[in-house]
């Protein structure tokens, strides 16, 4: 193999699995260290810069970082990254002094359609630069799906108000309660650019026999959740069936339990394991005595005298064809009928753009989605940009934020007559952590703790009030203990072959057999010849140039604990522990190198 090129932003960024997996590339180990250090406000601001809604995300994020976390590969479970974010948000002091100052107006006007996470991110990035940002939303309060669809027992309203408030406080021109009904009309006003962040607002329906007749007791999940959020609905029948296996279904069933539902079931077509809901959300539902029944396909809503009586299901089994594709086929068993008073349909969400005229030059694809550039988020109408669920369909808040940052860069460049395809590089730096012979400026002692559980409110109390937050969050001690589980993957093992004397000290001390000195070869061959075979092909090999004996040093990044013992045992300093920092460059910023 060729000597690994570690220069540039990518190689070491990939080693920081959590940051690489985060769509907004939040510097996770950095803020976890700040939490361990008791610097909650600083930890909060590191998050705020990257992901804009740390308090919200610390409770609701889909956490792509956690399945990526290296800790999950050396023991049972990853670091509770998401809930640590909440620790920073819960324990910070007044951070208003750290918020950006707003530059004098630059004469450019930008309209944002929707006040959800994507649009608010665009506003956060553009307002401080002097843009006149006008935000339209049909709801009376800003926040979009964060406010409309996430139940209050998972996300208290104060948290939304606070974090939305940091952005609306940047001098935005908020036009709440004003739904945009025509893009054409909007474009006729004096805007230099328009950002569409209208989400995926339409819940899918199930058109089955009985749907019309029993309509009074059949509700579309996300609409029903937003009626609950805005307090238009405060009760539901005693027996509730939730159809669907995603996170919205989990929110629906748990909300039902708090509004009078005593016998609440989730019934899904597929198998339990293939459900779209995150494992922890399923766990939370089961904890609240909600059974999840699988392999049942709804056939008919049964009703009597215009009143829903239940749902009839066909039993199916999963079959796999020779290409491994799954098909649900009738099991041949008799259909099963479940009685209920209400049904919540949570079988997916769709985008809807009835307000965008199709003759403006803004092209749509065959599925009714706008044609949007995946890098610039620009539509075929150059001054209209998209982001969040309205750009590429339903995803999660953290994706909306990441796309908002990217769209803001494009809008800024577009308004300044620069090429939107010319994207700013992230700012990176490498700083040695060596303080003394065996002293590092990070805590390299690896904790043996298993993942800590977030304390919950007692179930009977939690189920009595739909607004009472059920998770209590980590307290300071638990937060510290969980923070110590982080392996500091951003503190990189950096190898300097000219001073290596091949004494094997690093090989002998490495607790996870990551380092090997051997003859060079092709990657596939080399991977099998290491101290421990490197079978995880998603993780890179770090290969040195040729050493004095003609061999090369090969390090498998897969399960490195970043404990620094290789560097401590190295007599010549050929190994060094260096902190790799990567900060995304947002709109109007220069790549920052510390």
Instruction: Give the binding site for other proteins (CB under 8 A).
Output: 73-75, 437-439, 444-446, 448, 501-505, 507-509, 511-514, 532-533, 535, 548-549, 559, 561, 563, 565, 568-572
Is residue 140 a contact partner of residue 226, using CB atoms and an 8 Å limit? no
Q: Give the whole-angstrom CA distance, residue 255 versus residue 590.
A: 45
Residue 316 vs 505, nearer CB to other proteins: 505
Name the minimum Å distance from CB 569 to other proteins. Answer: 5
Cα–Cα distance, 384 to 238 (Å, whole number): 47
Of 410, 334, 332, which Cα lies nearest the Cα of 376? 410
CB neighbour list of residue 181: distance below 8 Å, 6 or more residues apart: 355
Q: Minimum CB separation from other proteins for residue 505, in Å? A: 5
- Please compute, for residue 520, the number of CA atoms within 13 A of its CA located in the half-sphere on the CB side: 14
Which of 90/568 has CB closer to other proteins?
568
Distant-in-sequence, close-in-space partners of 408: CB < 8 Å, separation ≥ 6: 121, 122, 124, 125, 126, 586, 587
Please give the radius of gyration of the chain, using alpha carbons only, rounded to the nearest integer. Answer: 26
Task: Name the pairing type of β-strands 434-436 and 439-440.
Answer: antiparallel
User: CA–CA separation, 266 vs 328, rounded Å?
Assistant: 18
Q: How far is the CB of 450 from other proteins (least distance, A)?
A: 11
**Contact predicate 227/233, CB 8 Å:** yes
Comparison of 354 and 524: residue with beta carbon closer to other proteins: 524
Give the nearest distance from C-beta 71 to other proteins in angstroms.
9
Q: State how far the Cα of 479 lies from the Cα of 54, in Å rounded to an integer.
A: 15
Closest contact distance (angstroms) between CB of 523 and other proteins is 19
In 427-490, the DSSP E strands lie at 427-432, 434-436, 439-440
* Closest CB to other proteins among residues 222, 514: 514
As measured in angstroms, the least distance from the Cβ of 61 to other proteins is 26
Nearer to other proteins, 418 or 536 (CB): 536
CB of 36 to other proteins, least distance (A): 16
Q: What minimum distance in Å lies between the beta carbon of 509 and other proteins?
A: 7
Q: What distance lies between CA 92 and its chain's CA centroid? A: 22
Closer residue to other proteins (CB): 103 or 535 = 535
Residue 385 CA to residue 379 CA, distance in Å, equals 6
Cβ-based nearer residue to other proteins, 362 or 505: 505
CB closer to other proteins out of 346 and 526? 526
Residue among 336 and 447 whose Cβ is closer to other proteins: 447
| Closest distance of CB 432 from other proteins, Å | 17
Q: Give min distance, CB of 563 to other proteins, in A.
A: 5
* Helices 279-287 & 247-258 angle (0-180, nearest 10): 20
Q: Which residue's CB is nearer to other proteins, number 467 or number 529?
A: 529
Closest listed residue to residue 46, CA positions, set 29, 62, 22, 61: 29
Strands 434-436 and 202-203: unpaired
Distance (Å, rounded) from C-alpha 122 to C-alpha 377? 12
For residues 69 and 196, give the distance between their C-alpha atoms in angstroms, rounded to a whole number: 33
Shortest distance, position 292 Cβ to other proteins, whole Å: 30
d(CA 27, CA 20): 9
Distance (Å, rounded) from C-alpha 91 to C-alpha 87? 6
DSSP state of 549: T
Residue with tokens 């904790």: 447
537's CB contacts (< 8 A; 6+ apart) are: 527
What is the DSSP code (8-state) at residue 471? B
**Residue closer to other proteins, measured from CB, 36 or 296:** 36
Q: Which is nearer to other proteins, 395 or 569 (CB)?
A: 569
What residues contact 212, with CB distance under 8 A and at least 6 apart? none
Least distance (Å) between residue 14 CB and other proteins: 20
Nearer to other proteins, 36 or 372 (CB): 36
Nearest approach in angstroms of CB 568 to other proteins is 5
CA distance to 17, 26, 55, 503, per residue, from 560 (Å): 12, 21, 31, 20
Residue closer to other proteins (CB basis): 52 or 566:
566
Reduce the DSSP state of residue 14 to 3 states and report it.
Answer: helix
How far apart are the two ends of the chain, measured CA to CA in Å? 32
Angle, helices 117-126 vs 157-168, to 10°: value is 30
Q: Which two tokens stand for residue 294?
A: 């699988």
Least separation, in Å, of the C-beta of 503 and other proteins? 4
Nearest-approach distance from CB 567 to other proteins, in angstroms: 9
């Amino acid at each position: 193999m060729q000597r690994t090129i570690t220069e540039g932003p990518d190689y070491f960024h990939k080693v920081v699995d959590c940051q690489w997996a985060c769509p907004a590339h939040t510097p996770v180990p950095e803020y976890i260290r700040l939490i361990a250090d008791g610097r909650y406000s600083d930890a909060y601001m590191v998050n705020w810069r990257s992901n804009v809604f740390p308090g919200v995300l610390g409770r609701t994020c889909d956490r792509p970082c956690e399945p990526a976390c290296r800790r999950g590969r050396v023991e049972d479970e990853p670091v509770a990254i998401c809930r640590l974010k909440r620790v920073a948000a819960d324990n910070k002091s007044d951070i208003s002094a750290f918020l950006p100052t707003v530059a004098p107006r630059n004469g450019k006007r930008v309209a944002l359609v929707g006040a959800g996470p994507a649009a608010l991110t665009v506003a956060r990035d553009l307002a401080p630069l002097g843009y006149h940002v006008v935000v339209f939303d049909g709801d009376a309060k800003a926040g979009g799906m964060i406010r409309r669809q996430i139940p209050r027992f998972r996300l208290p309203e104060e948290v939304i108000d606070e974090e939305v408030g940091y952005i609306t406080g940047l001098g935005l021109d908020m036009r709440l309660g004003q739904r945009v009904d025509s893009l054409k009309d909007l474009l006729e006003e004096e805007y230099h650019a328009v950002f569409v962040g209208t989400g995926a607002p339409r819940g899918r329906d199930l058109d089955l026999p009985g749907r019309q007749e029993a309509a009074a007791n059949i509700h579309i999940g996300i609409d029903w959740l937003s009626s609950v959020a805005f307090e238009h609905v405060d009760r539901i029948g005693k027996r509730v069936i939730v159809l669907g296996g995603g996170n919205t279904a989990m929110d629906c069933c748990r909300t039902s339990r708090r509004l009078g539902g005593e016998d609440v079931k989730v019934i899904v077509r597929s198998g339990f394991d293939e459900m779209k809901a995150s494992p922890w959300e399923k766990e939370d539902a089961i904890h609240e005595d909600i059974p999840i029944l699988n392999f049942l396909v709804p056939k008919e809503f049964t009703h009597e005298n215009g009143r829903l009586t239940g749902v009839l299901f066909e039993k199916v089994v999963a079959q796999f064809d020779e290409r491994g594709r799954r098909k649900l086929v009738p099991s041949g068993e008799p259909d099963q009928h479940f009685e209920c008073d209400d049904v919540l349909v949570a079988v997916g969400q769709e985008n809807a753009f009835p307000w965008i005229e199709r003759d403006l030059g803004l092209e749509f694809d065959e599925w009714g989605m706008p044609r949007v550039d995946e890098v610039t988020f620009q539509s075929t109408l150059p001054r209209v940009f998209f982001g969040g669920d309205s750009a590429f369909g339903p995803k999660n808040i953290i994706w909306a934020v990441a796309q908002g940052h990217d769209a803001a860069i494009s809008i800024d460049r577009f308004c300044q007559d620069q090429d939107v395809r010319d994207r700013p590089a992230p700012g990176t730096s490498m700083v040695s952590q060596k303080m003394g012979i065996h002293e590092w400026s990070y805590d390299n002692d690896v904790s043996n703790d298993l993942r800590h559980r977030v304390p919950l409110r007692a179930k009977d109390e939690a189920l009595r009030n739909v607004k009472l937050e059920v998770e209590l969050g980590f307290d300071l001690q638990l937060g510290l203990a969980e923070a110590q589980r982080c392996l500091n993957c951003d503190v990189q093992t950096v190898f300097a072959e000219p001073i290596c004397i091949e004494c094997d000290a690093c090989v002998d001390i490495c607790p996870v057999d990551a380092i090997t000195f051997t003859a060079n070869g092709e990657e596939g061959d080399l991977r099998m010849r290491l101290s421990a075979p490197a079978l995880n092909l998603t993780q890179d090999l770090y290969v040195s140039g040729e050493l004095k004996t003609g061999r090369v040093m090969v390090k498998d990044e897969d399960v490195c604990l970043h404990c620094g013992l290789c560097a401590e045992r190295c007599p010549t300093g050929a190994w060094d522990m260096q902190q790799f920092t990567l900060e995304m460059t947002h709109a109007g910023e220069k790549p920052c190198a510390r």
